[in-house]
């Protein structure tokens, strides 16, 4: 079995390459641990000035997310013990990247979903290409937008965060750049040249990427920004669905269908998550770990993964099946903090980035 993370050095640049191609580099706990170990080693190594995070060549995904099929199996087999250990490791890695004192350059050349977003968005420099496809699709499997999404999505302009959380919309590289989710846009053919130049002169990474940047095509998302801000302005899931239903455009009908198909409990968790996001990333990670522990214990998670990824009938049976059936008391239970002995803690006490 090939090593799922390739760690190498070129000059004063460390390079971490995701190498689980058959799973589109979906993360498991071993990969999270390997990434964290390398980052911790290089954090304290004065010979390393920057880190490049990418994926093995000839695959269409940067990272398709966490290995939720394995998480579901843990829920069924051991009550979720291995799943909780995975989330602990993954969220610690997210926090390590967010607080990393050296530049990390994420090359998002392909599918970047769920856990892949959690790897890329904490990075100092985030490079999109024409192959980038970014999404937070957790609503389709009864989870919630995690890996720091409560903070990232809540900071997007207008109602864009709600739109992405509730629809699972897939953004291309141009849309990611327009939304501020990435910092640079390159043609994929120029990525290797960029990496080689950064390895020679890591302090000039931003300038190198700007020089190699190519103008992106128009962002399709921008055309619908006014509709998103208007129709997703409601605070409740019921209000958003009603607003979409009342709009006679084809776009609204498509997005109503997307929102209505997602797990109602997940959608209501996401709305409260975005509305109450803390400013502190560590606090968000602690909150999301508690949410993850509770959400995987609900039947909706195992059912969603079954429907989408295991049996693939795409006909999940949500419980409750309607937004009206998801009460505030249910959401309160999901958001209750964990006992101190079970709570998330970071790998190391690093100063948070401003």
Is 189 noted as a catalytic residue in this protein? Answer: no
Q: How far apart are CA 36 and CA 104, in angstroms?
A: 13
pLDDT digit string (tens) for the chain, length 354 residues: 689 999 999 999 999 999 999 999 999 999 999 999 999 999 999 999 999 999 998 778 999 999 999 999 999 999 999 999 999 999 999 999 999 999 999 999 999 999 999 999 999 999 999 999 999 999 999 999 999 999 999 999 999 999 999 999 999 999 999 999 999 999 999 999 999 999 999 999 999 999 999 999 999 999 999 999 999 999 999 999 999 999 999 999 999 999 999 999 999 999 999 999 999 999 999 999 999 999 999 999 999 999 999 999 999 999 999 999 999 999 999 999 999 999 999 996 444 333
Q: Residue 41 domain-assigned? A: yes
Exactly one of 61, 114, 115, 142 is catalytic; which is it? 115
Range of the domain at 202: 5-342
Q: How far apart are CA 233 and CA 222, in angstroms?
A: 17
What's residue 60's pLDDT? 82
What's residue 243's pLDDT? 98
Report the number of distinct structural domains present in the chain. Answer: 1
Exactly one of 138, 255, 284, 300 is catalytic; which is it? 138
Q: Residue 347 domain-assigned? A: no
Q: Residue 327 phi/psi, 5° resolution?
A: -90, 160
Exactly one of 66, 118, 142, 168 is catalytic; which is it? 66
Q: How far apart are CA 216 and CA 202, in angstroms?
A: 25
Q: Which of 287, 279, 277, 271 is nearest to 336 (CA)?
A: 287
- Residue 95's contacts (CB-CB under 8 Å, 6 or more residues apart) are 122, 281, 282, 285, 346, 347
Q: Residue 353 domain-assigned? A: no
Q: Residue 337 domain-assigned? A: yes
What's residue 114's pLDDT? 97
Is 66 noted as a catalytic residue in this protein? Answer: yes
40: exposed, middle or buried (C-beta count within 10 Å: 0-12, 13-18, 19+)? middle
Exactly one of 90, 146, 175, 300 is catalytic; which is it? 146
> Looking at residue 194, which CATH number applies to its domain?
3.90.226.10
Q: Residue 147 domain-assigned? A: yes
Q: How far apart are CA 173 and CA 115, in angstroms?
A: 18
Q: Residue 101 domain-assigned? A: yes
Q: Residue 351 domain-assigned? A: no
Q: How far apart are CA 249 and CA 245, in angstroms?
A: 9
- Residue 271's contacts (CB-CB under 8 Å, 6 or more residues apart) are 162, 165, 166, 235, 236, 237
Q: Residue 200 domain-assigned? A: yes
Is 146 noted as a catalytic residue in this protein? Answer: yes
What's residue 320's pLDDT? 98
């Amino acid at each position: 079995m090939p090593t799922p993370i390739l760690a190498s050095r070129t000059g004063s640049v460390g390079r971490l390459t995701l190498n689980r191609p058959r799973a589109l580099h979906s993360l498991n706990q071993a990969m999270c641990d390997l990434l964290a170990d390398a980052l911790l080693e290089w954090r304290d190594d004065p010979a390393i000035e920057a880190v490049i995070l990418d994926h093995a060549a000839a695959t269409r995904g940067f990272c398709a997310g966490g290995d939720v099929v394995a998480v579901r199996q843990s829920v069924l087999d051991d009550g979720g013990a291995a799943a909780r250990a995975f989330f602990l490791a993954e969220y610690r890695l997210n926090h390590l990247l967010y607080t990393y004192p050296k530049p990390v350059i994420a090359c998002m050349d392909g599918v970047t979903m769920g856990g892949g977003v959690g790897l890329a968005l904490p990075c100092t420099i985030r490079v999109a290409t024409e192959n980038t496809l970014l999404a937070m699709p957790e609503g389709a499997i009864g989870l919630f937008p995690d890996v720091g999404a409560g903070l990232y999505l809540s900071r997007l302009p207008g109602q864009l965060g709600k739109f992405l959380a509730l629809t699972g919309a897939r953004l291309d590289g141009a849309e990611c750049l327009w939304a501020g989710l990435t910092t640079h846009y390159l043609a994929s053919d120029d990525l290797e040249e960029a990496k080689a130049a950064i390895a020679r002169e890591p302090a000039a990474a931003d300038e190198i990427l700007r020089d190699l940047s190519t103008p992106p095509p128009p962002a399709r998302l921008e055309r619908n920004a006014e509709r998103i801000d208007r129709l997703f302005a409601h605070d409740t899931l019921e209000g958003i669905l009603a607003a979409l239903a009342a709009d006679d455009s084809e776009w609204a009908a498509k997005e109503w269908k997307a929102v209505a198909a997602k797990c109602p409990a997940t959608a209501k968790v996401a709305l409260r998550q975005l509305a109450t996001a803390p400013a502190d990333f560590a606090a968000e990670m602690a909150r999301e770990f508690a949410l993850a522990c509770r959400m995987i214990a609900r039947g909706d998670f195992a059912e969603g993964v079954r429907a989408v990824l295991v049996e693939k009938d795409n006909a999940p049976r949500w419980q409750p099946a309607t937004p009206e059936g998801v009460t505030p008391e249910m959401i309160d239970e999901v958001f209750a903090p964990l006992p101190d002995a079970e709570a998330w803690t970071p790998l190391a006490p690093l100063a948070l980035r401003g």
